[in-house]
Structure 1
């Protein structure tokens, strides 16, 4: 049984991949336990959106997205975030970490064909924040 397939016209594709890093932080000005030093195994989910496919049939290879995201994660991995720029002057909340990843990825990654459309940062299995420009 053969099924005909025709290439779609219009629409967009969103690719999703993730990286992880472990880091400690404390939240200045927070009224609660998070004001004390503590750590997380952070999970960063990156979404890249594009409308066109390359000659292979991809928006962009997942390994390209992950490689760039891993370079950013390396800067934070096994660190005390409050001592790592920009978090030495900006509270290292999940919101700021998501925006930081987005900005760092988009600066060296966005093209006319695709862009980083969202970054979600999970600080545990129940709590995440998503940044979309």
Structure 2
């Protein structure tokens, strides 16, 4: 089994609903995102071209970049927590990569250098 990972980032604002504390107020982050994919088959010695994988991730992150996450339909009924941002990115990237013979292993989102959340789909 092969595994590759790419990183990218985006900036956005959000606030948490039904939460008591500083994060209930609108605030922003410079988010770092890690996408890990895996697979058994190589084509021309590659699981997937890094350029393609980075473009697919960037396409998803462009939807979130410089936005108030609370205004995005996915987050209307879900708090825009790091965990739910992982789930959102996972769902979008899963669709973007469906024609490739690989699996998404995980999506990890850092809201700062000291804390992150990951989504790993149980198969």
What TM-score, normalized by structure 1, do the two folds share?
0.87
Number of residue pairs matched?
121
Deviating beyond 4 angstroms after TM superposition, the runs of 4 or more aligned structure 1 residues are none
CA distance in structure 2 between the aligned counterparts of 1:85 and 1:78, rounded to whole angstroms: 16
Give yes or no for the alignment of 1:71 onto 2:68.
Answer: no
Give yes or no for the alignment of 1:53 onto 2:42.
Answer: yes
1:38 to 3, 16, 27: 27
CA RMSD of aligned residues (A): 1.1
Partner of 1:107: 95
Tell me, which stretches of 5 or more residues in structure 1 are unaligned?
Answer: 1-11
CA drift at 1:96 = 0.4
Whichever structure has more strand as a proportion of its residues is 2
Tell me, which stretches of 5 or more residues in structure 2 are unaligned?
Answer: none
2:68 to 56, 60, 80: 80
Give yes or no for the alignment of 1:19 onto 2:8.
Answer: yes
Q: Note the alpha carbon deviations across 1:29-72, whole angstroms, 9 max, x for none.
A: 11211111100001110001011111x20000111111111111
What TM-score, normalized by structure 2, do the two folds share?
0.93
Q: Which has the larger radius of gyration?
A: 1
